[in-house]
Structure 1
């Protein structure tokens, strides 16, 4: 597991390490999650899943930007068990 403090930090982490899944907050100080997801999708490697992980509800995410940038959505207040199940499902799909 790695962490990043913003868009450009996330790009550096992904370029130097090959994550299977990225948890990406929508509301970030430097650039929002939509900008960051767009930048991540432009990288030469795109064999990772991106989860929109945010305090905002799914309707907010849908109405605020391009949801096709994300492979899944998880609200922060949800059970950690749900998030783990979501990640396991995405990991299984990515491994195929």
Structure 2
């Protein structure tokens, strides 16, 4: 079972994504801010991260930078944002994000993306 880390300060988005992903048999861990996200990345070792851009404390860009600095195979990261600034998506791509969706998004769009990415990966545990 793939492990998904959902990082968002909005409880409604965390709940929606958790419900949808768990119905598809993903193991979901949630983090409410950037510091909790970094801790979860270390302890959970997620196979995929869904990351909000605007959060209190460490924003999504700081979390992405820390994830990209880790040794080993890079974890796929999907950034979600309501930010209307034109440079936000450019910065996300430049900082190494794999996927980017603007809010509002559909749960199906997120699920289709994750399913597509993870179905192409062969995990060591699956061998």
Q: 2:75 and 2:65 mapped to 1: Cα distance?
A: 13
- TM-score, normalisation: structure 1: 0.81
1:32 Cα deviation after fit: 1.6
The answer to whether the Cα contact below 8 Å between 2:33 and 2:57 also exists between their aligned partners in 1 is yes
Q: 2:39 aligns with which of 5, 8, 12?
A: 12
Q: 2:59 and 2:38 mapped to 1: Cα distance?
A: 13
Higher relative contact order at CA 8 Å, sep ≥6: structure 1 or structure 2? 1
Q: 1:41 aligns with which of 65, 68, 82?
A: 68
Q: Secondary structure at the match of 1:27?
A: coil
Gaps of 5+ in 1: none
1:71 Cα deviation after fit: 0.7
Report matched runs for 1:1-96 at 5 Å.
1-56=28-83, 59-63=86-90, 65-68=91-94, 69-95=96-122
1:58 Cα deviation after fit: 8.7
Q: 1:79 and 1:66 mapped to 2: Cα distance?
A: 20
The structure that is strand-richer by fraction is 2
Gaps of 5+ in 2: 1-27
